[in-house]
Every structure is written in structure tokens, then in C-alpha cells.
Structure 1
């Protein structure tokens, strides 16, 4: 009897040793193009638009499309944004987070270095949807209205380098992206050309791009957001190509994956008098762009601006109609394009909290046990299939007993588990 009790205790200790605690995960950004990637995305301004975004970018066979969203410094509420991330996770949407200050005098308050620790703490407090934590630092700083009424390339360079360094010191999973620029802005009292701005940044801080992992582009079809779909160069749908070539001239010696987080045509909002494109023209333009222009293997995501903004000044970009639950025809045109099932890496970890039955149940040449697990990772454990967990080169599989209920991060479930 003592021998059997001792053996049972040893088995329990062994199982606890194998499962207790989180898996050891290497903290480093993943190449988003290493596996199947669904580059379709959309820019959203409110979490209430998540379902409509998913119906667009994950339609026609797709999964794990992208959404670009903005978090202001006065919105750094972990509870709120964790709920948003959890909802994105359920809809298989990958967030690209652009951080912002607060609106001030018709523009935006200038960021200050003293705020960087607050951003790092907040962003690191969230359980992100996938392993790569995409963060865009700022927005169009070559516009004075985006930087407290001034254009200061040196100040933006300090802010970008400081915050990117601190984010990566906190977690190597932060995938840092610089602000997208307005490539069509000329030099003036209230703006600076992107070329001049970038040149002054590099002259001030030669290693400014050492801590960024990708390139953010606002590849709008100009002039007047009404340009040709097949035009090339600065101020077109291929602005990103001009930007990458210019960065090489400035000394950039690494290949950067591209995130087109703003693009799209202004439309006539069903009013032919405003001079913008008709919505049916935008439909054909976007279809052409996705198939013939943005088929570049360097592009990770394309998130046109904007899904739902039905008041001035951005109603001319909105994909949703004013005072309606329906959308303009280009929403449905893009919805009908076949899309791939993206395969982003998620951290899949679990904690064994209690053993009901050790791994002594045999079936199909495997030893199974029954235990209470907590989902401590990012992925959702499906109730109707096994989820694989890796630990130190060995693979285990678990399957929740909960009928019709998946196990989300932070939740607990009784599971069947086995070593593969």
C-alpha cells in the first residue's frame, strides 16, 4: 500500500513538473511573412466596428486579417483595451496599434519623453492577440498639426528611438513601426516634405532605424486622394516603394516589411458635386489595386482608411454609409475577393492547477490524464479538437472537456492531456 501511494505521489510530481508554469517562449519578433499571411485589413476608430471589420477582411475563406486602431494617451485603460483585444482574438483579427496624444487647438499635442514609460507599462499590461505586438509610434509628424504646431524632425527622432528602445527592453515581442508620413506634403511653414524630414532625422541620429522592425506607409492615390490606380512613385498607391528606395539612399541597409496603414480614394458620398470619385469607380480601383498593385511580397498588411466615419471631415473616406447599417459598394467588392487563412504565431501556454487522473488512461497507444488547466497564453483552446503545447522540445496535446465552450486566455477548463 505504501509503495502504491509513493508511486502515485511520484507520478503526480512528475506531471506537475512537466506542466506547471508557463512555457519558455523566446522573446523576439516573428517574420510575419514567414507563414501564410492574410494582408487584407481595414482602419477602424471604434471597437463597435470589430464585427463589420471581420466580415470584410476575413470573408471569402480568409482568417487573421488586420485592423489598424488608435489609442490616445487619455484612453490607456487596461480593462477596456483587454476586452477589445479579446474580441479581436475571437474574430481572428490582428491589431496594429497606433499610439497618439490628445487633440489640442485643432491638432494634436506634442508627445514628450516623460510619457514613454507610461506607454510601455500600459502596452505591456495587455495580453496581445498574437506574439507580434504591432505598435506604430505617432502619425505624420511632418505635419505641424500632428506635433503641437511645429515640425521638429530631431524631436520625433528622439521620441521614436527612446520609445522603441524601451518597448524592446520590456519585451522583444514588440514589433515597432515608425509613424506613417504624408508623402505629398511640400515644405512650408506648417509642413515639411517627407524626404527632407527623413534626411534631417538621419543626419541627427544615424542609427534612428536600428530599433524598428517594419515600415509604415500612407500610400494614398494623390493628387486630391483621386489619383490613378496604376500610377507609380511618391504620392501613389506605390508610395511605399519610393520611401524604401529613399531610405536606402539615406543608408538603411536592412529589408523592412511594409504596413500600408492608410490608403484609399475619397468618394463623392453619393453627391456628384464634390468632385471626388464615384463609389463604383473606387470599387474597380480597389479590386485592381489588391490584385495588380499591392501583390508585392514585402507587404504585410493593407488597412485602408476608414471603415466607419460618417461625419466631416472624413466621411469622404468612410466605407459605411451615413445613417445606415449598409456599406458602399466597394466594401462588398473587397468582401468577395478570395482571401487566405493567415497563420500568425500565437503563444500557446497552460498551467496545470489540479490533477484528477494522472496519465494512466491508455487509448490509441497514448497515455492520457485528466487535469484542471488554466489558459495562460494567447490562443483559444477549441472544445472540439486537441491543442498542441510545446515544452522544451517535447509536444503535449490537450482537449477541453467543456462541451460547446472554448477556453479563452485566463479561463480554466478540465482537459484530457497526453504527451505526443
Structure 2
């Protein structure tokens, strides 16, 4: 067998269009929730909540402290997201000191984050928010003003490190507390913070395409205007500060919600109605999914201790949602044993392995393997769920029919009926069934002049694959088409000449004509009276 190993590393981003789409033309499920130190069960339940009533690919903001998870632990959480079709927005944090303040990020924080990004594969592109409400002193090492340059330099360095290992990643600044007054070092108002941030790192907004923001239903808005659309005022202010692309930035509301008593649910519904019309909004995430402490329990989507949904949780659950279409990158390494020559009208089968290096899981029903080229009969054995990093193993079977020539065939991965990745290319040559000539067919006493004969060929399982009848004439036995044999396997073939012992040999067939010198044929019924006796032996040697 000629072994052809096909290894392709191809990447293709595919655009799906929908009437309900954001600025990039993609349908999006904007519903989301905010998680703090979640269990695996909570992650799964939260996904199902934000996807309830027709949705897929809702989002979850996940607070992640430095050192909290190993790459393996984080990938285990990603596995749940792939299974449930949810996106993660990692809100990356440092650690809390003895005074209850978040310490300043350091080089070790950068190394921890970069290692996580490098060694894990999240759904879609990966969304990383570096810090949270850094215009509060307790979120920025105790001083919201003095520590701005240090945060700015750290953010710029960490952003670049993330994009070096994951160019498709979305990196965001920590969302600001818009209600904060200017009372340094405890609080810095949003406008002062942004001015000082850009002063410390003029290019800090380079490579930032998404604004992470907080939009609560009530309270002060340092940018002015409506709280629910405060991100628009925030982008306009950044544009005034010289961030040229600010107005075109997409938005993730990484925190929203709050406790307004009897008005909480109605406020949420009003906000949803407004946000669903915002083409720049990727998601809103209600703070918080599950909290049992006195401070945050009134904000929670599920109650304590029974985890039943609160009125706010029921409101999220009851809203109709849509199937989002995140931006996936498709890549794979494909390996298969393919032969150069095929026999017409004969099944060919081989195992193909596809190592999934995409940013989505390959799911049965949503994805399928296809053969691109002539309309041959073919099939792939079934698969269920192939996560990134795992390998899909399938048995590929194809029958070329009566086609001849050397067509180019391509293996593809299709999602919802559209080809998203070409996996491999194969150009077999398809031939007519081979010809066989057995020459110099002889009895012990001389050439076989004329007698009927049959050729039988068996595969390695001793199943008969070919049976051809013919006539030996002047020592030549010729079969024009040996149907049922390929050009790869070895066969045990048997010549059964009328009235003679079977003669067998092992052979490989090649395309076209196959010639082979025959073995001696030993007749057992020389006088053809239907019996083997002494007369046959005497007739054989009487010459």
C-alpha cells in the first residue's frame, strides 16, 4: 500500500448573516450572567439560564483571581461551555490583601494570565478583562490616582503578551465605576481616570475593539445622560480624548442589575428592550448569578440555599432568546491512509483522524464531514462531540462507480450546511478492473490445449471476492475483468481447471494487465468419466 499522510493546518473564519445581527453581521444572544468562584454545576446551570427559550451562545462573566485555576482546571470549565454553547468573559483579578484591597497587578500576574491563555482553548476568540473598576482605590492597590500609571503600563504589557500567544483574543480594560466621585485616593471620577490613563500610556487603546462597561439601572453616571446607554457617552468621551476608533467599538456590559425592590424586574425588561436594538452591544451580564452573602444576595439570580430562581432570574429565563453565531476559527490536522490507485465500482475504506484545533467543539448534527468533488457514493462513520484538542476518528467508505481518470477529491468540515474548513485533498486514479493472464498452463505431460476453468480469489478474511469463469486455450487462461479486487491487498487466488486439482498462489493486482506463469495443473479425472481411479493415473503417464 502506498501511504499518503495528509496533514493540513488551515484556518478559516466564517461569517454568518442574520436579520438580527450586531455590527459585524452576526446574530448574537446578548443575555449573560456574572459568576464568582462557580462550581461546575453552577456554570452549567448558568449557561442553561442565559440560553433558555431558544437561545445559544449566551455569555458568562467569570471572576478569576491570580492562581485560582490551573490551565487544566480552566479548560475543564471551557468543556462545559462547549457542551452548553456559552461564551466566557474572564474578569482577571489579582489578590485581596489584609485590608480587603485588591493588590496591584505585577509581572507574576502577567505570567499567570499569559500561561492560561497559551495553554487553553476557549469558545470563540477568548475575552479577557484585565482588572475591574480600577478607578476605585480598593480595586487598585489603595490609591486610584497615584497607581494609574502603574496599571496603565501593566495593562499595555499584558495586552501585548496575550495577543502574542493568541492574536484573535479580545482584551479589554477593567470596566469603571461610573458613580465614583473625585475623592482620591479612595475614588477617581471616570473622566479623570481616563485622562490620566491615556496620559500614562497614549497607545493603551490600540488593539482594543471592545469596551467593557458597567450599566446599573440607578445611580450617578459620570459621563452624563441615561445610565442604560452610558456606554455611548463613554465612547464619545474617549473619542474626545483622541481614541479615534472609540465610536466604532463594540460593547460588553460586564455588570448590570441591582436591587430596586419591586421595580427590579420592570427595570430589567426596559433595559433589555433598549439593549436589543443596540447593534454594538455584544452582551449584558447580570450581577450576580449566585451569591449568599448579605451584601450581594439581593442581586442574585438564584436564591440561597435552595438555588431556586429569584424573580430576577425568572425574568432572564422567561425572555425569548436567539441562537448566537460567535466568531470561530477553524483549524485541524487531518491524517489518513489513502491509496493512489482505485478499482472502479469497488468500495474503498480507510480510517481518517481529525485533530480538532478549532475554537468550537465539533458536534454531531451541527457539523458533518463531507466529500467535495464528483458525486460518488460515500459515508463517514458517526461521531458525537469532539472538543478542541481531541481527535475525531471516522471510517471513510467510498465507491467511485464506473468513473475513470484521476479526479481531485477534497475532504471538508461543514457547519450547518456550509463548508468551514478544507481538511485534506486526495487525487486517486480510478481504473477498470484488472486483467489477468495465466501463461504456460501445463499438465505434467504438456501444455493444456483446451479446458474450462474458474478463477477464485479470497481476501485476508478468507471471503471470496472474485469468481470468474473462462477457458484455458493453448496454455493461456485470460480473464478480461477480475471484478472485486483492489490494488492494495494481497489475495489468495485459486485456479480450478476442469477435472484437475486446484492450484493456488498469492498475488497483488496492479492496474491494467497482470501476467503470471501458471503452476502445473494436476488432472484427477483424465478420461473425464467423473471418477478418479487407476485408469486416470495410467492415462496420465501412458505417454
What residue in structure 2 maps to residue 257 of structure 1? Answer: 250
Compare the two structures and name the one with the higher strand fraction. 2
Aligned-partner Cα distance in 1 for 2:296–2:202: 36
RMSD of aligned Cα (Å)? 3.0
Cα 1:334–1:115 change in 2 (3 A) is closer
Quote how far apart the aligned CAs of 1:362 are. 9.4
How far residue 385 of structure 1 moved from its aligned partner, in angstroms, is 6.2
Cα distance in 2 for partners of 1:109, 1:362 equals 71
Distance in 2, Cα, partners of 1:360 & 1:58: 49
Aligned pairs (5 A) from 1:359-378: 370-378=351-359
Counterpart of 1:213 in structure 2 is 209
The alpha carbon displacement at 1:110 in A equals 1.2
Match of 2:274 in 1: 292
Map 1:373-392 onto structure 2 (within 5 A). 373-384=354-365, 386-387=367-368
What are the within-5 Å matches in structure 2 for residues 32-47 of structure 1? 33-45=24-36, 46-47=38-39
- Give the match for residue 191 of structure 1: 187
After TM superposition, the score normalised by the length of structure 2 is 0.63
Name the residue aligned to 1:66: 59
Q: Is 1:277 aligned with 2:264? A: no
Match of 1:176 among 149, 171, 177: 171
User: Does 1:322 find its partner at 2:304?
Assistant: yes
Q: Are residues 1:22 and 2:4 paired?
A: no
Shift in alpha-carbon separation, 1:385–1:69, aligned structure 2, 3 A = closer
Within the alignment, does 1:142 sit opposite 2:135 as a pair?
yes
Distance 1:191 1:69 in 2: 25
User: For residues 129 and 367 of structure 1, do their structure 2 counterparts lie closer, same or farther at Cα, with a shift above 3 Å needed?
Assistant: farther
Deviation for aligned residue 1:411: 2.9
Q: Whole-Å Cα distance in 1 between the matches of residues 380 and 139 of structure 2?
A: 49
Structure 1: how far apart are the matches of 2:371 and 2:154?
38
Aligned mate of 2:110, from 116, 139, 161: 116
* Pairwise CA distance, 1:203: 2.2
Deviations 1:200-253 (A, max 9, x none): 1122322221132210101112328xx9xxxx9457222212211111111111
Give the Cα separation in 2 of the matches to 1:390 and 1:250.
Answer: 54
Aligned pair in 2 of structure 1 residues 406, 241: CA closer, same or farther (>3 Å)?
Answer: same
d(CA) in 2 for partners of 1:93 and 1:383?
A: 17
Structure-1-length-normalised TM-score: 0.81
Task: Measure, in 1, the Cα distance between the counterparts of 2:31 and 2:366.
Answer: 28
Alpha-carbon distance change, 206 to 406 in structure 1, aligned in 2, over 3 angstroms = closer
1:42 and 1:123 mapped to 2: Cα distance? 22
d(CA) in 1 for partners of 2:274, 2:119: 40
* Max Rg structure: 2
Give distance in 1, aligned partners of 2:93 and 2:202. 25
Deviation of the 1:103 alpha carbon: 1.3
2:209 aligned counterpart, secondary structure: coil
Q: Select the structure that is richer in helix.
A: 1
Q: Indicate the SS of the match to 1:217.
A: strand
- SS of 2:299's partner is coil
TM-aligned CA deviation for residue 333 of structure 1: 2.0
Would the aligned equivalents of 1:386 and 1:399 in 2 still touch at CA under 8 Å?
no
CA distance 1:402–1:389, shift in 2 (3 Å): closer
How far 1:298 sits from its partner (Å)? 0.9
Q: 2:219 aligns with which of 214, 218, 223?
A: 223
Distance in 1 separating the partners of 2:163 and 2:199: 24
Partner-residue secondary structure (3-state), 1:141: coil
Structure 2: stretches of 5+ with no match in the other structure: 14-21, 373-377, 397-409, 413-543
Query: Distance between the aligned counterparts of 2:343 and 2:217, measured in 1?
Result: 63
**Partner Cα separation in structure 2 for residue 399 and residue 240 of structure 1:** 51
CA apart distance, 1:79: 1.1
- Separation (CA, whole Å) in 1 of partners of 2:341 and 2:91: 47
* 1:68 CA drift (Å): 0.5
1:154 partner SS:
helix
Residue 129 of structure 1 corresponds to: 123
Farther off after superposition, 304-313 or 329-338: 329-338
